[in-house]
Amino acid sequence: MCGIVGYIGKRNAQEVLIKGLRRLEYRGYDSAGVAILSDKVGKRPSRLQIEKRAGKLGILENILTQKPLAGNLGISHVRWATHGIPNTKNAHPHWCCANRIALVHNGIIENYEELKESLIKEGHKFRSQTDTEVLVHLVEKFYQANLEEAIRRALKLVRGAYAISVICKDEPDKLVGARCGSPLIAGTGEEEGFLASDIPALLDYTNEVTLLDEGEIAVLTPRGLEVQNLKKDILNKEKIKISWDAAQAEKEGFPHFMLKEIHEQPRAITNTLMGRISEDKEKVLLPELKSLEKFFASMEKIVIISCGTAWHAGLVGKYLIEEFARIPVEVDIASEFRYRNPILNDKTLVVAITQSGETADTLAGLHAAKNSGAKILSICNVLGSSIPRESDAVIYTHAGPEIAVASTKAYTCQLAVLYLFAFYLASLKNPSYFTKPHSLKDYLTNLENIPAKIEEFLNNKDNKKVIRQCTRRYHRSFGFLYLGRSLNFPTALEGALKIKEISYIHAEGYGAGEMKHGPIALINPHLPVVCIAPGDSVYEKMLSNIEEIKARKGIVISVATEGDKFISHHSNHVIYLPRINPVFSPFLTVVPLQLLAYYIAAKRGCDIDRPKNLAKSVTVE
């Protein structure tokens, strides 16, 4: 996720762009840049002035305060790196060989490697390691005095997700944007036009915006906005009046980042899977693992280390890797791992899972593992952070910045990577798994369909009603118990952690089979017990646990699969999930638990995005 702002008009472009980027900093903050077309002075022609810097927007801002860039047409960007580490070279804007076209991009270009190769053969010179740079060279290749036409031709060759904003020094009265899969909006004022990834960037200037749809190109001139499609048809687009203030708009109208991030999960998972499943769905594509391919042949064991939510993802990973690839997996909380004496050697792969890439215990665990000769693979959301830098290989989740302290979209994206990794290892180490009735193609097709299923769940009003009803009834409870089995035992732990950290209600997550070994003593008519019971191989066992709770007059909130009428006779409340292959259920079962925690915390008046005593990134022991 990155932020884009573009401006054309009479104002000082630098001021508009920087002010807009400030409002989009939540979308990315590892580097920032602007490109502004200088005014023509006398005989001196206008030229593209570009300033960009690694680090937070403030660094760029300081430079621009000292050496301002004058001009009334410009584009700008705050970056959240996906391809190419966050340094100044990889920061946007990128510009073409002839220094006449500049471009900023939000999204991922899936086929950038093949495009780059052919552009290099044609003589284009690349300056960065980004996927984005192919776009500006493609536009340059097709440019013949009409920017939108060159963009249209370039986009026809591109696979992936993008929102772009482009300027060209030969057309100083034109700002062009296009979108497919990443958001872009246009706004107009008196003889001026704006482009932005999100509404808050424009609210200081206009509250009337046009939302671009997939495959649309916006051409802004001082005369107004024209929207076209890839076939060159001119479209009649409706303007929308925005009633939010800027702070609300930053959260896209959601009251908290956590709720926004819960709703971003379908897009975040799609981005994480993008380019990692072959078009025929027969293969997992993880070129990041190339350097480990030889090692995998002799690998004997995997140890996963992580903390908090990432540890829960690791627990799901164990089930998956052992089931599909038949490789033994241990999962350790990093703070335990680093202080025990684990048995590791050069045939061990240690997988460090971390959203931030900076968690002190996970980093220390990684150091200990390295000293023992193990290979290190990290799964991380922040490009260029410490843990990936010290790993032998990295698979990035592309969740975009997660602002709320309580992790939601990073978790489901970690799951997405772990499913891919388990299928990848199974293809290498246990290919016979994918003989009938289990085809890899079926699994990968199901995996790609997960974002749509989460979307379906999030749009279901009946479920929201049940969650709201549970919130009203139980927000004053002293405790919650979460029970799950097999792949959803980690979901129970994650549900309990979510409610604990944001609503400050004590909660326990348990493997349901453990209930009779202790926690059953807690069951009483005041204790809500969340029972995760999708229609999987342990469904009947979960039903027995539910009966045991009911027999002791406990309150049962079941998370089940749609159509399961039976469970409703045995539960006080049921939240229904869309039907999917149960092996993928952890993606769905966790979402109602995130929402339940969220609404209970909101009802209790808690500071949801910044819960007390917690930090987003735990960089100290």
How far apart (Å, rounded) are the C-alpha atoms in residues 72 and 222? 11
Of 38, 335, 356, 503, which one interacts with ligand M6R (CB under 6 A)?
Answer: 356
Selected binder of ligand M6R within 188, 272, 355, 594 (CB under 6 A) = 355
Q: In 3-state terms, what secondary structure has residue 221?
A: strand
The residue (of 150 and 406) whose beta carbon lies closer to ligand M6R is 406
The stretch among 229-237, 250-258, 404-412, 586-594 that binds ligand M6R (CB under 6 A) is 404-412
- If the CB atoms of residues 188 and 354 are measured against ligand M6R, the closer one turns out to be 354
Amino acid at 389: R
Cα gap 89→133, rounded to integer Å? 11
How does strand 375-380 pair with strand 393-396?
parallel
Residue in 308, 365, 384, 495 binding ligand M6R, rule: CB under 6 A:
308
Strand order in the sheet with 375-380: 329-333, 301-306, 348-354, 375-380, 393-396
Q: Which residues contact 463 (CB under 8 A, 6 or more apart)?
A: 457, 575, 576, 592
Rounded to the nearest whole angstrom, what is the least distance from the CB of residue 382 to ligand M6R in the complex?
A: 8
Stretch near ligand M6R under the rule CB under 6 A, chosen from 8-16, 203-211, 399-407, 443-451:
399-407
551 Cβ partners below 8 Å, 6+ apart? none
CB 37 within 8 A of CB 99: no
For the chain, what is the radius of gyration of the CA atoms? 26
Q: Does residue 261 belong to the site contacting ligand M6R (CB under 6 A)? A: no
Which of 359, 397, 412, 572 is close enough to bind ligand M6R by CB under 6 A? 359
If binding means CB under 6 A, how many residues of this protein chain bind ligand M6R?
17
Beta carbon of residue 389, minimum distance to ligand M6R (angstroms, whole number): 14
Question: Toward ligand M6R, which CB reaches closer, 87 or 617?
Answer: 617
Nearer Cβ to ligand M6R, position 270 or 594? 594
Identify which of residues 163 and 497 has a Cβ nearer to ligand M6R in the complex: 497
Query: Could you give the CA distance from residue 496 to residue 506 in angstroms, rounded to a whole number?
Result: 8
182 vs 309, beta carbon nearer ligand M6R: 309
How far apart are the C-alpha atoms of 63 and 52, rounded to whole Å?
A: 9
Residues 310-339, mask of contacts with ligand M6R (x by CB under 6 A): x-----------------------------
Which of 8, 37, 406, 538 binds ligand M6R (CB under 6 A)? It is: 406
| Stretch in the footprint of ligand M6R (CB under 6 A) among 195-203, 365-373, 403-411, 509-517 | 403-411
Least separation in angstroms between residue 406's CB and ligand M6R is: 4
Choices 10-18, 22-30, 354-362, 439-447; region in contact with ligand M6R by CB under 6 A? 354-362
- The answer to whether residues 548 and 515 touch, using CB atoms and an 8 Å cutoff, is yes
2 is catalytic: yes
- Per-residue HEC secondary structure of 550-572 comes to HHCCCEEEEEEECCCHHHHCCCC
Q: Per rule CB under 6 A, is residue 477 in the interface with ligand M6R?
A: no
Cβ(33)–Cβ(224) under 8 Å? no
Is residue 309 part of the contact set for ligand M6R (CB under 6 A)? yes
Asked whether the beta carbons of 48 and 35 are under 8 A apart, the reply is yes
Respond yes or no: is residue 307 known to be catalytic: no
Write out the two tokens for 17.
């762009």
Residue nearest to ligand M6R (CB): 308
- Quote the least distance from Cβ 362 to ligand M6R, whole Å: 5
Among 192, 501, 536, 564, binds ligand M6R (CB under 6 A): 501
Nearer to ligand M6R, 94 or 409 (CB): 409
Angle made by CA atoms 342, 417, 270, in degrees to the nearest 5: 165
- For the CB of residue 407, give the shortest distance to ligand M6R in the complex, in Å: 4
Interacting span for ligand M6R (CB under 6 A) from 1-9, 214-222, 306-314, 470-478? 306-314
- List the one residue from 197, 228, 348, 362 that touches ligand M6R (CB under 6 A): 362
- Binding ligand M6R (rule: CB under 6 A), the pick from 155, 307, 331, 450 is 307
Minimal distance in Å, beta carbon 496 to ligand M6R? 11
Inter-residue contact 102 to 47 (CB < 8 Å) = no
Q: Which residues in the 116-175 window bind ligand M6R by CB under 6 A?
A: none
DSSP 485-529: -GGGHHHHHHHHHHHHHHH--EEEEEEGGGGGGTGGGG--TT-EE
How, if at all, do strands 348-354 and 301-306 pair?
parallel
Least spacing, CB of residue 357 vs ligand M6R, in Å? 7
Closest by CA to 299, choosing from 224, 393, 433, is 393
Q: Identify residues 166-225 at the interface with ligand M6R (CB under 6 A).
A: none
The CB-of-499 to ligand M6R minimum distance in angstroms stands at 11
The interface with ligand M6R within residues 19-78 (CB under 6 A) comprises none
Helix or strand holding residue 587 (H, E): helix 585-603
- Catalytic, out of 2, 180, 307, 470: 2
How many CB atoms within 10 Å of residue 543?
Answer: 18
User: ∠ CA(213), CA(217), CA(223), 5° rounding?
Assistant: 115
Tell me which residue of 151, 159, 181, 156 sits closest to 113, measured CA to CA: 159
Catalytic residues: 2, 616
Residues in the site for ligand M6R, rule: CB under 6 A? 307-310, 354-356, 359, 362, 405-407, 497, 501, 614, 617-618
